Amino acid sequence: MVKASPIPVTVKIRAGWDDANKNAEEVAVALESAGVAGLTVHGRTRSQLYSGRADRRLIGDVKSKVGIPVFGNGDVDSPAEALDMLATTGVDGIAIGRGALGRPWIFQQIEAALRGDAIPAAPSASEVGFLVLELMEGVVTLYGESLGMRMMRRLASDFTRGVANGARFREGCVRVQTRADLVALVREFLRYEGAVPRRRSSPRGGPLPPPSPGAASRRDPNDQSTLTIAARRGSLWRGRARRPLSRS
C-alpha cells in the first residue's frame, strides 16, 4: 500500500486485542519497517471498546520504539488531558475523537493551553444554538433537507451535553424533520434569538446523493479534503492530501 499510494500512508492502532495480547509495540515497529509515515495509537484494547482509561504508559512505550511521528489518542476531552497526554507519553501530537463531538471549540481551548495562554470559556447556551444552526445549514446544503435533518438529530444532540436545558433539547431532536423544527427547538431551549446563519452554496454544486454501499471506494479522485487534525505543541497540525487520491 505504501508503494502504491501517491500520498503518505498513516495508520491507527489500538493497544492490542485484550489485556493478554497487547502487541502495539511490535505492530508499530513492523509498520515503520513497512514504510508508514505516521502512527496514531489509541491506548485501549479492542476488547475494552471505550471502557476504562486509555493506557498512556503504553502509548509512550510505542513512541520510544519508533522514529516516525506518533499521535496519542484516548480520553483527550479537555486542555488538561491534552497537556497530560503530551507530558506523559512524549508523542508528537494528539488525535482527538469523541472529545470533539459537538464541541468544536475544544481545539481552540487546547491550542491556548499549548501556548500557555488563558483558556477560552466554553460558549453559552445561546452561542451553542448559533453553532447548531450554522452546522444545520452546512449539512442541508450538502445533503438536502430530508437526509440532512435526519443526520442533524444526532449531530445537534452532541452539542448540548452539559448545556442548560440540553436534556429537553435532545428529547425534541429525535423528532426533527425540517429546518424549521430545529430552529424552533434552538429558540425554545437554547434561547438563541438571532438570525439563522445564511445558507452557503454547495462546493459540489448541489445536495449530495444519499450514501450507498461501497461509496467510500468510489471517492472523487480529485477530493483534496482534510485527512487529519491533531494538536501539536504550540499549534494545530492539519494534514491535507497534497496530490489527488487514487481510485482503489
Query: What's the pLDDT at 61?
Result: 97
Cell of 151: 443526520
| pLDDT tens profile 121-141 | 999 999 999 999 999 999 999
Cβ proximity of 94 and 73 under 8 Å: yes
How many other CB atoms are found less than 10 A from the CB of residue 30? 12
At 109, phi and psi to the nearest 5?
-65, -45
- Gap between the Cα atoms of 225 and 201, Å rounded: 17
The rounded percent of the chain whose pLDDT value lies above 90 is 75
pLDDT exceeds cutoff 90 at 247: no
C-alpha grid cell, residue 235:
499549534
What's the mean per-residue pLDDT of the chain? 84
Residue range 37-52: mean pLDDT, rounded: 95
Placement of cell 493551553 in the chain: 113
Residue 225 pLDDT more than 70?
no
Q: What is the pLDDT of residue 218?
A: 41
- Per residue, the 3-state secondary structure of the chain, as one string, reads CCCCCCCCCEEEEECCCCCCCCCHHHHHHHHHHHCCCEEEEECCCCCCCCCCCCCHHHHHHHHHHCCCCEEEECCCCCHHHHHHHHHHHCCCEEECCHHHCCCCCHHHHHHHHHHCCCCCCCCCHHHHHHHHHHHHHHHHHHHCHHHHHHHHHHHHHHCCCCCCCHHHHHHHHCCCCCHHHHHHHHHHHCCCCCCCCCCCCCCCCCCCCCCCCCHHHHCCCCCCCEEEEEEECCEEEEEECCCCCCCC
Dihedral sign of CA atoms 183, 184, 188, 194 in order: positive
What are 124's three cell numbers?
Answer: 453559552
Instruction: Check pLDDT > 60 for residue 53.
Output: yes
- Angle of helix 56-65 relative to helix 24-34, nearest 10 degrees, comes to 30
Contacts of 66 by beta carbon, 8 Å cutoff, 6+ apart? 28, 29, 31, 32, 39
What's the pLDDT score for residue 176?
96
pLDDT for res 204? 55
Task: Say whether pTM exceeds 0.85.
Answer: no
pLDDT in tens, 81-114: 999 999 999 999 999 999 999 999 999 999 999 9
